[in-house]
Amino acid sequence: MNALTVEIHDVTPALAPEIGEIYDALREAGIERPTLLVVPAYLDARGHSWDLRAYNNMAHWLRQRQAEGCDIIQHGLTHRAAAPPPPGLRNSFMHHVFSRGLAEFAHLDGVEARARLVVGRNILEACGLHSEGFIAPAWQQSPAAIAALRDLGFRFTAFFGHVQALSSSPSSALSPPSSSASLREAGEAMPPPLRTPALTFDAANALIDYGKRAVMWLREQWGRTRPLLRVALHPADVRGRRPLDHIVRRIRLLARERRVVSYGQWFAAAEREVVRDAA
């Protein structure tokens, strides 16, 4: 099955107008159940925390979308790095240029990662929302954060170039975690990652916009042979050069060739293929 996920990232009350505009544009394009990456307590540039529990309208809207079949994915806790990156040119570039200080989980140790994951999960659950997976802000997370995800029973995570099940088989990735021992404590290895590109387009100016469109076109061509392709939309896509219209056109074309799925549907289909191949 050639599949496509259509994802709205950075879902938070702080960016509700932009999220609504993206959602409506996708509905007009025939995408009725996009995947929603929810930030439980978004921290804006002024230091204000947008704890979802304090915003009933957004929480209600998300519960409605969840009831309709949209995937709810936990997307960090605050979506803002709490400290400068470790020394090094690559770390500096990724922090200041690629993620612009928003890669919250990129360099966390296990204790801090686990604490943020638990608080974020508790906020979502208090709002009546359930997340099977976790995708870190800017697709960046430390090895310690990945270990914490497994300990806490998350089923999957995703990066800029691949999707990672956190258990050894699609079936166990969809079933409840053991109450007696975590997957990592039990010594269960993770399966190989599924190489699949994420396409993302937000751009601050025309030069970046057209350059990014070219890069994403190349990534799309690479992804044509992959069973899963991902398109990530961000609130910034409705600002500046407004690449939203371009993204929606790309989604319309991709949806002619691929089935739009949630991550849950993708892993369920993978499980069926494993069972069929083993028969």
Task: Give buried/exposed letters for 232-255 (b at 16+ CB in 10 A, else e).
Answer: bbbbbbbeebebbebbbebbeebb
Q: Is the pLDDT of residue 167 over 90?
A: no
Count of domains for the chain: 1
Strands 49-51, 41-43: pairing is antiparallel
What is the pLDDT, as a whole number, of residue 84? 65
CATH no. for residue 103?
A: 3.20.20.370
What is the pLDDT, as a whole number, of residue 179? 37
What's the predicted TM-score (pTM) here? 0.88
Whole-number Å distance between alpha carbons of 40 and 53 = 8
Whole-number Å distance between alpha carbons of 14 and 39 = 10
**Which of the residue ranges 82-96, 201-215, 262-276 has the most confident prediction, judged by mean pLDDT?**
201-215
Strands 156-158, 162-165: pairing is antiparallel
What is the pLDDT, as a whole number, of residue 157? 97
Q: Is the pLDDT of residue 4 over 80?
A: yes
Whole-number Å distance between alpha carbons of 222 and 229 = 10
- Looking at residue 251, its amino acid is I
Mean pLDDT of the chain: 86
Strand partners, 50: 42
Q: Is the pLDDT of residue 92 over 70?
A: no
Q: What tokens were used for 224? A: 């044509």
Give me the domain span that covers residue 274. Answer: 3-278
In this structure, what are the phi and psi dihedrals at residue 20, rounded to the nearest 5 degrees?
-60, -40
Residue that wins the pLDDT comparison between 242 and 274: 242
What is the pLDDT, as a whole number, of residue 134? 98
200-253 per-position pLDDT tens digit = 987 767 777 788 888 899 999 989 999 999 999 999 999 876 789 999 999 999
The SS3 of residue 84 is coil
Q: What tokens were used for 214? A: 């070219």
Task: Point out the least confidently predicted range of 98-112, 150-164, 246-260, 264-278.
Answer: 264-278
Task: Point out the least confidently predicted range of 154-158, 187-191, 272-276.
Answer: 272-276
Is residue 194 within 8 Å of 230, Cβ to Cβ? no
In this structure, what are the phi and psi dihedrals at residue 149, rounded to the nearest 5 degrees?
-60, -45
